[in-house]
Amino acid sequence: WLLLLLHKEAALEPQGPAVGYNSLQVSDDHHVSGIQARKKQHSVFWIKTEDQPTSNLLRKGIMDIEAYFERIGYKKSRNKLDLETLTDILQHQIRAVPFENLNIHCGEAMDLVVRRNRGGWCLQVNHLLYWALTTIGFETTILGGYVYSTPAKKYSTGMIHLLLQVTIDGRNYIVDAGFGRSYQMWQPLELISGKDQPQVPCIFRLTEENGFWYLDQIRREQYIPNEEFLNSDLLEDSKYRKIYSFTLEPRTIEDFESVNTYLQTSPASVFTSKSFCSLQTPDGVHCLVGFTLTYRRFNYKDNTDLIQFKTLNEEEIEKVLKNIFNISLERKLVPKHGDRFFTI
């Protein structure tokens, strides 16, 4: 049995680039038993639910790696720690673990316990991936990113994104399972400055300047058959998109403590402004933002993405979450589409 455990503390605003999220701090007096977790400083991890203190499980590394691979549907050999294996694991995770924030919008923002088939944002899903890759032997490093704001035309001052660097045979790769939507990489990106790296979603490009690395993407044209949604605020209107910047300074999960609280509690956060869920497929990506469901099929013809829109009613939300995203919520979701900038 698996638990994805997330603790959310009191609201703290980011105070510069070293803000962070603490997903490993747990109390000695709290146990995980069956499918229940007693509340207090739980961590973001798939952990084995034995009757031991959670902190001991984390310190000893007693976590169920086989359950993780069952969760993402990965059945191949993990004996070779090569680029092919890394790519395969990444693709399995992004097609099984949604990029989502739904618990904030269904009354479970504090002391969240997610049993099975749920997702999260970068701080959970990339930390989970970090643990899995490290457990099977990959040389993996946590990095911190600064997300680009299109309306503000600048990168965030706070370190609000967690990503990974994986080293294989002396070559470094950027691995990120936690950005979602049409910005999600499907393959690791080789850490080379100025090289176009075509993937199914788009062309990605990494550029280094004065110790900072910048991730950008070159996007395709978009075709929206339903003219009602041609001016949707969910549509990306730029063919060249800045995504985030980062440095190669190694980070720990403790470096992301206050930003995790900020993302879940601040009125200025897109996480509180909009409910969202996205999941990659073999040829595209499903997104649910508020009541709006979209499916983007990458490169369906002539270097153009097809984007289909549908507005759901309340009765359809639960069915869509279950059938498309494989999510069953314990509480009723209150879909939200606030005014914070968020594109698919």
Catalytic member of 7, 105, 161, 286: 161
Q: Which candidate, 299, 251, 284, places its Cα nearest to that of 95? A: 284
Contact 318, 298 (CB under 8 A): no
Contact 33, 49 (CB under 8 A): yes
List Cβ neighbours of 324 (8 Å cut-off, separation of 6 or more): 279, 286, 288, 293
Query: Is-catalytic flag, 161?
Result: yes
3-state secondary structure of 285: strand
Q: What are phi and psi of 328, to 5 degrees?
A: -120, 115
3-state secondary structure of 298: strand
Strands 304-311 and 221-223: parallel
Catalytic member of 176, 216, 255, 305: 176
3-state secondary structure of 206: strand
> Edge to edge, what strands does the sheet with 52-53 contain?
36-37, 31-33, 52-53
Catalytic member of 31, 42, 92, 122: 122
Query: Is-catalytic flag, 122?
Result: yes
The catalytic residue positions are 122, 161, 176
